[in-house]
Chains A and B, each alone.
Chain A
Amino acid sequence: MDETRMTGTAGREAGGENDPRTGRAMDTVVRTRGLTRRFGSFTAVDGVSLDVGRGEIFGFLGANGAGKTTMIRMLCGLLMPSGGEATVAGFDVYRESEGIKRNIGYMSQRFSLYEDLTIEENIEFYGGIYGLKMDEIRVRRDALLEMLGLQAEARKLTRDLPLGFKQRLALGTALLHDPKIVFLDEPTSGVDPRVRRAFWDVIHEESKKGKTVFVSTHFMEEAEYCHRVSIMRDGKVIALGSPGELKREYGRSTIQDVFIEVASGRTAAGGGEARAGGSGDSAGPAGKGGEGS
């Protein structure tokens, strides 16, 4: 954990002092400090500090209602934070959401392509919205359809696709404009293991190309595919590190066991709570994973 914190601090300094516009000069592409969101008196995200680097696959674990979606929505510029700071691709979430939007892809927890458009119409639409040229759209559309094996069904209504294909289509659309960072909110919920495998192949591929991938999930074996995972509870990040580190730290053999222990707060009343308490303004458990890119 110490090691993690060290690198985290280094990363932050680099990020903090460098020109935020040229996010590439540094490695940190997402940086939050004490990020908080309240709904009325209820605090959905509570003082989260994170640094996520380029090319990293960063997993969000947490029980239902832990605050994962709220966190992602703030980072996407969909939701104003109630406090704390955050930059995404070097852009401030409060003031520069337009800049953020040019650099991210987002796949929401709900399926949100147009069911009454055909597959290719959906692709074309989102390509156009992201300002791609028509021939570019065509090239990428064909590549995407080929990857999904959906060439024959391109003119079918999206409504009529099986869920697995819908989700893969949504992922493909989120990646269509080649964003620096993608946020995937439970992309694999409800899809079969084979499709899930295909999903993660894509995610790894994109990460190798230097894309940062934020992914929330309830599947623990998926957590193992992440470079780093964070576990949230009641709006706080209570554990953070590479899957290996977490397993070692909690002395468990699978992330699932770690999760059950941490997220339910059964044993870790000491560890979990203490850590969470410290995550206010100090770097807390945040930091860059050693296994990063």
Chain B
Amino acid sequence: MRRIYFMMKKEFRQIFRDPPMVAIIFVMPVVQMLVLSFAITTEIKHVKLAVADLDNGVATRAITRAFANTDRFDVNIVTDDPAAVKEGMRSWDAQVGLVILPGFGRDLARGPAPQVNIVMDGVDGNAASVAMGYAAGILQDYAEKSAAGAPAGAAGRGAFPARMQERMWYNPDLDSKNYMVPGIVVVLLTILPMMLSAMSLVKEKEIGTLEQLQVTPLGRRELLAGKLTPFLILSFIELAIVTVVAVLAFGITMSGSYADLALAALVYLATTIGLGIFISTITGTQQQAMFVAWFFMMFMILMSGFFIPIENMPPFLRRLTLLNPMRYFLAVVRDLFQKGTPLSSLWKDMLPMGLYGLAIFASGVMKFRKRLG
């Protein structure tokens, strides 16, 4: 125990003596939190719209206004030349084109139903399909409003429609921050412990102090305990900082219990720190360690549902996510924050996460041979 204490003391001293390190541990997460939570929006807004209005009548201008009035679209180009829409797309000045042919207003009043052409830039498929939905919604609204003004047409056949009232639970305003910020907490709690523990172990290898430690009576377990407990503590401080930022700066509500969050984090940290140890055993330089850690990180983040929802993945990849410990922790943290689910009901995630943590940590420790040979 005393040996571990001395090891920890040394570790803290080294960390706090190194200003870039302190910045990395305490400032970077907050910066990342700020940048990420604003950058990562799954909402699509201010889509650049090119309107080629060849009719230029009352109705078509009203439609253009309807598009301009939402923050979903920014009308960027207004033209009477349909070819300009395509040119606009090539120079990235337009993402969606609205092409209305001559005679629109006339046909709208008398029939047959006139055409509205929506041209999408399909490069960003996700944005395109979302924008398409928006456009259809705006046109629908316009149609309903104009129908309300002139009660005739198809609606008056005697039967009455079913209407949907939607109730958005947990996130009534569909604010993507509520979803992404808890996710960023998870990402930070993945990156930092894994990188720091891997790099700090490899660093001792690189500068030769590990060898010095290996001729002391300090056991392998004591060495790891003394070296990693500081990172465990720092990770918790980290968790506290980002949680406070999330709640105070972003106004994210924590619906569940903080104790549950801490407990889940403890279980998860066994995984990330264990991975750190594991990486340090298969690499010899900090550069290698960084690359391998980064590789793990990429895999974990992509396959966690952080920004690609798991249910959207093809079955093969969906099954692959079951191997990803971060997937479970992400689900737990999001549910804790948003739904306030008690940890006891999250055992389906906690159990595999705990098992992974145990297995990864144990194999990391085993692999961390005390002998160099």
Q: Which residues of A contact B (CB under 8 A)?
A: 73, 76-80, 97-98, 101-102, 104-106, 108, 110-117, 121, 124-131
Out of B14, B372, B373, name the residue touching A116 (CB < 8 Å): B14
9 residue pairs, one from A and one from B, having the closest CB atoms: A128-B6, A80-B373, A110-B208, A106-B215, A112-B208, A112-B212, A79-B373, A125-B10, A76-B215
Q: Which residue of B lies closest to A37 (CB)?
A: B373
Q: Considering only CB atoms and an 8 Å cut-off, how many residues of chain B contact the other chain?
A: 27
In the complex, whether B221 has a CB less than 8 A from a CB of chain A is: no
B209 adjacent to chain A (CB < 8 Å): yes
Contact residues of B between 1 and 27, Cβ < 8 Å to A: 2-3, 5-7, 9-10, 13-14, 17-18
Contact between A130 and B211 (Cβ–Cβ < 8 Å)?
no
Contact present for A77 and B215 (CB under 8 Å): yes
Residues of B with C-beta under 8 A to A80: 371, 373
Alpha-carbon distance A101/B216, docked complex (angstroms): 5
Give every chain A residue within 8 A of B13 (Cβ-Cβ).
117, 121
Given contacts A101-B215, A104-B215, A131-B217, contact A112 B209 (CB under 8 A): yes
Chain A contacts for B14, CB-based, 8 A: 114, 116-117
| Besides the known contacts A73-B372, A117-B13, A128-B5, 20 further A-B residue pairs in the complex with CB atoms under 8 A apart | A76-B215, A78-B372, A80-B371, A98-B217, A98-B219, A101-B215, A101-B216, A102-B217, A105-B215, A108-B211, A108-B212, A114-B209, A124-B6, A125-B7, A125-B10, A128-B2, A128-B6, A129-B3, A129-B6, A129-B213
B207, CB-defined interface residue at 8 Å: yes
B6–A125 touching, CB < 8 Å: yes
- Do residues B216 and A78 form an inter-chain contact, with CB atoms below 8 A? no
B245 at the interface (CB under 8 A from A): no
**Residues of chain B at the chain A interface (Cβ within 8 Å):** 2-3, 5-7, 9-10, 13-14, 17-18, 207-209, 211-219, 370-373
The reply to whether A111 and B371 contact each other, CB–CB distance below 8 Å, is: no
- 9 pairs across A/B with beta carbons < 8 Å? A78-B215, A79-B371, A102-B217, A106-B212, A112-B208, A114-B10, A128-B5, A129-B217, A130-B216
Which residue of chain B lies nearest to A183 when distances are taken between CB atoms in the complex? Answer: B215
Contact in complex: B207, A129 (CB < 8 Å)? no
Task: Indicate whether A131 sits within 8 Å of B2 (C-beta atoms), given known contacts A80-B371, A101-B217, A112-B212.
Answer: yes
- Name the A residues within 8 Å of B3 (CB-CB): 128-129, 131
Is the Cβ of A112 less than 8 Å from the Cβ of B5? no
Question: Interface centre among B17, B18, B208, B216, by most A CB within 10 Å?
Answer: B216
CA distance A129 to B216 in the complex (A): 7
Smallest CB separation, A192 vs chain B (Å): 23
The distance from the CB of B353 to the nearest CB of chain A, in whole angstroms, is 34
Chain B residues lying within 8 Å of A78, measured Cβ to Cβ, are 211, 214-215, 371-373
B371 touches A130 (CB 8 A): no
Contact A111 B219 (CB under 8 A): no
Query: Is the Cβ of A116 less than 8 Å from the Cβ of B17?
Result: yes
